[in-house]
Amino acid sequence: MVPVAASRPDPAARRQRVAVVIPAKDEAARIATTVRAAKAIPNVDLVLVVDDGSTDATQHVARDAGAVVVRHSVNRGKASAMETGAAVVAMRDAEDAAPRLLLFLDGDLGESAVNAAPLIPPVLDGAADMSIALLPRQAGAGGHGIVVGLARRSIASMTGWSPTQPLSGIRCLTREAFDAATPLAHGWGVETGLSIDLVAQGYVAVEVPCDLRHRASGTDLASQMHRAGQYRDVLLAVNARKVRSLARGVRRRLRGSADT
């Protein structure tokens, strides 16, 4: 007779589940490969694609590749897609005592998505609350580091931590850490906002080298406009957090005055 214990799931193994969340817009050409590669990452038992108002077949291709798909009827931006994805994962975790870790990937990673696996162990083992992918230099990249510099300096000035790649959106977080950072910063400021919000609250963030490949912004007009939008959104995210920090300081001083 098989022992009863052998027929029950191992609680430790159940705590190791990871949900991949992939915000995607018009990624029909690469999303299937990305989904299949993500499903091969150890501990991943759910791949969720949030189709953020695509005008192509992204949702259908992702579903055929084995992903759970939710769709925004109009484009709401990356932060909203991340929040939608995390909310769907939370609903699936509702009856389980151990929430899945959240691993956010880009839809254009293709076969390299499996190389995000090193992000999981630091969070799984409790060494960090958020791990961030350090990517190798991407072919065709044409930026001058202006937006990266703004993000890095801002994070360092507000938290004391200076990340190498502050704009990397490929991240693994605990559910607690993600919830502590919501609502997320708008648009391209989401990564900078995440880092400031979490590290300022005492959460631990680490950067982990990962051999990931995606489309990089070049030097054409569209790429320059993209970087201008990034700069705007990062600056908005930083300024909002400076105002919030200042307001907290004022409230603390007022409370201190009232106590005396």
Residue 245 confidence (pLDDT): 76
| 16-53 residue pLDDT tens | 799 999 999 999 999 999 999 999 999 999 999 999 99
Q: Any bridge partners for residue 131, and if so which?
A: 172, 206
Which carries the bigger pLDDT value, residue 105 or residue 246?
105
DSSP string, 77-88: -HHHHHHHHHHH
| 190-209 residue pLDDT tens | 999 999 999 999 999 999 99
Q: For strand 171-173 and strand 130-134, is the pairing parallel, antiparallel, or unpaired?
A: antiparallel
| 107-136 residue pLDDT tens | 999 999 999 999 999 999 999 999 999 999
Q: Is residue 115 part of a domain?
A: yes
Query: Measuring CA to CA, which residue among 145, 156, 160, 136 is closest to residue 231?
Result: 145
Q: CA 233: distance to chain centroid?
A: 16
Q: Is-above-0.75 flag for pTM?
A: yes
Q: For strand 205-209 and strand 44-52, is the pairing parallel, antiparallel, or unpaired?
A: unpaired
Q: Is residue 24 part of a domain?
A: yes
For 225, the domain range is 12-259
Q: Is residue 236 part of a domain?
A: yes
Q: What is the CATH number of the domain that holds 75?
A: 3.90.550.10
Between helix 146-159 and helix 221-259 the angle, nearest 10°, is 10
Residue 187 confidence (pLDDT): 86
What would the two tokens of residue 102 be?
A: 């959240």
Spatial contact of 134 and 164, defined as CB atoms under 8 Å apart: yes
Residue 189 confidence (pLDDT): 94
Least confident of 69-78, 125-134, 139-148: 139-148
Which carries the bigger pLDDT value, residue 130 or residue 188?
130
Residue 2 confidence (pLDDT): 35
Residue 101 confidence (pLDDT): 97
Q: Is residue 7 part of a domain?
A: no
Q: Is residue 3 part of a domain?
A: no
What is the number of structural domains in the chain? 1
Q: Is the pLDDT of residue 94 over 60?
A: yes
Least confident of 83-87, 226-230, 232-236: 226-230
Q: Is residue 212 part of a domain?
A: yes
What lies within 8 Å, CB to CB, of 182 at 6+ separation is: 83
Give percent of the chain above pLDDT 90.
73
Q: Is residue 215 part of a domain?
A: yes
Q: Is the pLDDT of residue 183 over 50?
A: yes
Q: Is residue 6 part of a domain?
A: no
Which carries the bigger pLDDT value, residue 218 or residue 214?
214
Residue 8 confidence (pLDDT): 42
Residue 201 confidence (pLDDT): 95
